[in-house]
Amino acid sequence: MQKYQTFLTEHISKQTSSIESYIVDGIKVWLKKASIRHPWWIYLPLLWLSKFLNLQILTPVPNYGGRKSILCEMKRIRELHHIGISVPEILAETHDGVLIQDISYTDQGLMQLDEALGHQESLNDRIILLRKAIIEIKKIHAKESYLSEAFARNILVDSQFNISFIDFETDPGYFLDLQTCQARDWLCLIFSTAFRFNHNDESEAITNLLKTELASESKVIKQLSTVGIRFKWLNKIGIDKLGRDGKRMKSALDLLEALSH
């Protein structure tokens, strides 16, 4: 609509941050503008590591920033919307920015998956919620597509447990084959949710869930379990003693290794 295009044109030059929210006629929107991102060379250590270990799944996917990231965001949103996936709606666009409608406009109870898992009172409730997210990702994969950064922070859950996805400034498909892009989705999901299932009985439950849901994806399971096996030495040296991030890493590596059993 013209009002959104006018709003974008008027505000993009005034906005100092790369992303900011506004209310337009009672609707919450996000204005993303082209901005400088990390230089390419910071991705080199992980790139070298992925080649040294022969683990393509760890190949870094750069966010180049600027107009490239804006164009990528719009392209990926449209691709996923076209195959029936719940993603934000693009309201207006220019070469230097895009105006996106906030998904929560129809549901004020919207939460990130990480937060939603933390609100569940029982293991069964957490398993049910995580399974809903897994099923939605499987739908994307079944249509020969993939996400960009499938971390729990980019997966939204509404009050009815419907799943939506956000943040598409990168495109793994530029660097990886389809199967590895899809395996990378599972790796991102596991690394950002495994810590919510820390106890022994919970670890077994989430392992069984993943094995069941990915039963037909033996090559994907192999890629994931290989990451756990190659990096299990981090648990042996006590990575969990390095604070919150260390504990999250341990939970994820334990789960990845368990997938190989």
**H or E segment and range at residue 16:** none
Return the amino acid letter for 198: N
Q: Do the domains 111-258 and 2-106 match in fold? A: no
Domain-wise residue ranges, the chain: 2-106, 111-258
Q: Whole-prediction pTM value?
A: 0.89
Is the domain covering 2-106 a CATH 3.30.200 domain?
A: yes
Distance CA 68, CA 70 (A): 5
140, pLDDT greater than 70? yes
When the pLDDT of each residue in the chain is averaged and rounded to a whole number, the result is: 86
Distance CA 260, CA 258 (A): 5
Tokens found for residue 105:
């406009």
Distance CA 214, CA 68 (A): 33
Phi, psi of 99 (to 5 degrees): -110, 120
45, pLDDT greater than 80? no
Rounded percentage of the chain residues whose pLDDT exceeds 70: 89
197, pLDDT greater than 70? yes
pLDDT interval class at 44 (50, 70, 90): very low
Nearest by Cα to 76 from 173, 11, 7: 173
Distance CA 51, CA 71 (A): 29
Q: Are strands 27-33 and 19-24 parallel, antiparallel or unpaired?
A: antiparallel
CA 179 to chain centre: 16
CA dihedral sign, ordered 157, 166, 256, 45: negative
Distance CA 237, CA 27 (A): 50
Instruction: Determine how many CB atoms are found less than 10 A away from the CB of residue 201.
Output: 8
Distance CA 55, CA 65 (A): 26
Tokens found for residue 142:
């079944």
Is the domain covering 111-258 a CATH 1.10.510 domain?
A: yes
Query: How does pLDDT run across 88-125, given as a tens digit for each residue?
Result: 999 999 988 999 999 876 666 789 999 999 999 899 99
Query: How does pLDDT run across 99-108, given as a tens digit for each residue?
Result: 999 987 666 6
Is the distance from CB of 163 to CB of 111 less than 8 angstroms?
A: no
Nearest by Cα to 105 from 164, 160, 159, 27: 27
Is the distance from CB of 184 to CB of 176 less than 8 angstroms?
A: yes
Mean pLDDT of 147-160: 93
Is the distance from CB of 191 to CB of 252 less than 8 angstroms?
A: yes
128, pLDDT greater than 90? yes
pLDDT of residue 251: 85
**Could you tell me the CA-to-CA distances from 227 to 103, 122, 123, 130, 148 in Å, in that order?**
34, 29, 26, 21, 19
3-state secondary structure (DSSP) of residue 35: coil
Q: Where are the alpha helices (DSSP H) in the chain?
A: 2-12, 44-52, 66-82, 113-119, 123-142, 178-193, 200-213, 218-230, 233-236, 243-258
Tokens found for residue 197:
């299932």
